[in-house]
Amino acid sequence: MKHLVPRTSPTHSAARASSRFTSAKATIAAITILGLALSACSSDEPRKKSYTAPTTLCGAAVPPEILTAVLPPGKELRTELTKTGYLQSTCRVFIDDEPVLAAHYDWMLKERTVFDATAPLLRLDAEKDVNPEGTFGYTEKGGVTRVACPNPSESKYKTWQLFAYIIAYDNDGTKEDVKNLVAAYGKGMTESSECASKSRTT
């Protein structure tokens, strides 16, 4: 006696195939949603400052922690010095090849003020951003300070005044952090070879 195997109707087979297809689509959709969720979570994680900050800005000593407070996150840091004649020099800081900060010094005539030094770059408010003596000013975007330079590298600079300023293209800190960096850079310039030449005496 032969056992008869019931034959599945075309309608039933199509229904099962459709069910499997729907289930597969649901699985793919769930995986996609999970992947997007994980991606969103990872993108929400704060970027880290993985680089090591230098101890000087192109020759001017600056505590790394003061510099790092203003710099944005990233992996690699490098500096680049550009000297314009005898009176100006700019030290640019790059994070992952993007310019993020400039430390600049400029020799000017004695009667010049902090406003003269930063007029093209910073809009300092005389009442809010500058000290009463008019020798130091800063905003969230940068600042400027007169630099005490008792022993300049060139004797002709004796009749000139040195200004040092910071421009933060991408400030990750506060206005107070910028103030600390401007002050530190000014102090570093005072102690640098530009102002403390060992080959000359006062």
Q: Give pLDDT tens digits for 181-195.
A: 999 999 999 999 888
What is the average per-residue pLDDT within 128-152?
Answer: 89
Question: In terms of domains, do 25 and 96 share one?
Answer: no
- According to DSSP, residue 159 is labeled G
Confidence of residue 44 (pLDDT cuts 50, 70, 90): low
- According to DSSP, residue 154 is labeled S
Q: What is the DSSP string of 58-101?
A: TTEE--HHHHHHHSPPBS-EEEEEEEETTTEEEEEEEETTEEEE
pLDDT at 76 over 70: yes
- Per-residue tokens: 24: 């597969």
Start-to-end CA span in the chain (Å):
123
Question: In terms of domains, do 38 and 78 share one?
Answer: no
Helix segments in the chain, DSSP class H: 10-44, 64-70, 114-118, 175-190
List the beta bridge partners of residue 168: 101
The predicted pLDDT at position 176 comes to 95
Q: Which of 5-14, 143-152, 158-167 has the lowest mean pLDDT?
A: 5-14
pLDDT at 113 over 90: no
Question: In terms of domains, do 33 and 116 share one?
Answer: no
Question: In terms of domains, do 119 and 38 share one?
Answer: no
**In 3D, which of 99, 102, 106 has the Cα closest to residue 77?**
99
**Rg of the chain over CA atoms, in angstroms?**
31
Task: Confirm whether 26 is domain-assigned.
Answer: yes
Question: In terms of domains, do 107 and 167 share one?
Answer: yes
The domain of 13 spans 1-45
Indicate the number of domains in the chain.
2
Q: Which amino acid is at 193?
A: S
Q: Would you call 13 exposed, middle or buried from its count of C-beta atoms within 10 A (0-12, 13-18, 19+)?
A: exposed
Question: In terms of domains, do 10 and 80 share one?
Answer: no
Q: What is the pLDDT of residues 77-98, one digit of tens each?
A: 999 998 876 788 899 999 999 9
Q: CB within 8 A of 99, min separation 6: which ones?
A: 92, 93, 169
Confidence of residue 32 (pLDDT cuts 50, 70, 90): very low
The predicted pLDDT at position 199 comes to 40
CA–CA gap between residue 169 and residue 159 (Å, rounded) = 32
Task: Confirm whether 64 is domain-assigned.
Answer: yes
